[in-house]
Amino acid sequence: MGPLAGLVARRLALGLLTLFVVSVIIFLGVSLLPGDVATELLGQSATPATVAALRHSLGLDQPLVARYGIWLGGILQGDFGTSLANGRPIGHLVAARFGNTIFLASVAALISVPLSVGLGLLAALYRGSLLDRTINALTLVSISFPEFFLAYILIVILSMQAGLLPSLATLNEGMGLAEQLHRIALPALTLTLVVIAHMMRMTRASVLGVLGSPFIEMARLKGASPARVIVRHALPNAWAPIINVIVLNLAYLVVGVVVVEVVFVYPGLGQLMVDSVQKRDIPVVQACSLLFAATFVGLNLTADLLSMLANPRLRHAR
């Protein structure tokens, strides 16, 4: 096994260990939620005997360790269990919702990544100018607002006052792609404004860090234009940190959509998790949380691997 393959294997093993620890934390945290699904289903007027019988039929009276073992064993076999609220297989519930979340995150990424890299290059090209200061100020303002506050501002301006975009991002079966993009425009714009600052500032800082290198000075002495120096010479050598922060922000676009989905009533995985918490549907909450955690761990691992591929110095221990 080569050095790179060994490093990848170690990172994969560490990712799996992290995911196992996260699964334990998720199970314990969800188990400590106040309330009980049996009481939620039967109502407050149910007798203790009826509640106890329902808890026994759902397996909620078993020890915590036994319930975790059964849950983890099912997950390893691809079985997320059955929803306690409606009796449907959880795999079917989360599949469509997770697809909607990925769709929203993908649209936001297609907007935010090119825009962030382009603005970062412009800010580096015109360092210290009015354009540079304006880009930095606007992106810092956008990231300073919480997601829900920024979402409500966009709803007031673009939906209620201008009437350009719908305030609710509801999707229906048979809806065309154009209509879907129109419906999710506001949540996608909200996510774009939230993540754009990190990627833009990292692009700017990485490119400016490379501009002091001797080969950049040689390119300038050869008569290369400032734009060509940055795009053709500085950017390819500054990709490692830029790729890392882009992939981490992509992880946020998938995992951090819970608040945005709730504000816009978007039928994604985050909305499903919030609804399941309200119903005390513990298995669904656990499945949603584990999918979010697996996505975040997987994209973090991808960011590490892409950084090593972009920068050979990271492949070897110092």
Q: Which two tokens stand for residue 291?
A: 């999918």
pLDDT band for 317, please (50, 70, 90 cuts). low
User: Can you tell me the distance from the alpha carbon of 165 to that of 9, in angstroms, rounded to the nearest whole number?
Assistant: 47
Residues contacting residue 145 through CB under 8 Å, at least 6 positions apart? 153
User: Can you spell out the DSSP letters for 185-242?
Assistant: HHHHHHHHHHHHHHHHHHHHHHHHHHTTSHHHHHHHHTT--HHHIIIIIIGGGGHHHH
Range among 29-43, 109-123, 135-149 with highest mean pLDDT value: 109-123
Where residue 102 falls (left for φ over 0; alpha for ψ -120 to 50; beta otherwise) is: alpha
More confident residue, 63 or 263: 263
| Tally of residues, the chain | 318
Contact 106, 100 (CB under 8 A): no
- CATH number of this structure's domain 90-315: 1.10.3720.10
All structural domains of the chain with their residue ranges: 3-76, 90-315
pLDDT band for 125, please (50, 70, 90 cuts). confident
pLDDT band for 56, please (50, 70, 90 cuts). confident
Which amino acid is present at 153?
A: I
More confident residue, 137 or 6: 137
CA end-to-end span of the chain: 20
Contact 3, 292 (CB under 8 A): no
Percent of the chain surpassing pLDDT 70? 89
User: Can you tell me the distance from the alpha carbon of 18 to that of 16, in angstroms, rounded to the nearest whole number?
Assistant: 5
**Helix or strand or coil: residue 89?**
strand
Contact 51, 38 (CB under 8 A): yes
DSSP state of 59: T
Residue located via tokens 């076999």: 77
3-class SS shares of the chain: helix, strand, coil, % to 5: 80, 0, 20
How do residues 188-239 score in pLDDT, each as one tens digit? 999 888 888 888 888 888 888 877 778 777 877 777 777 777 777 777 777 7
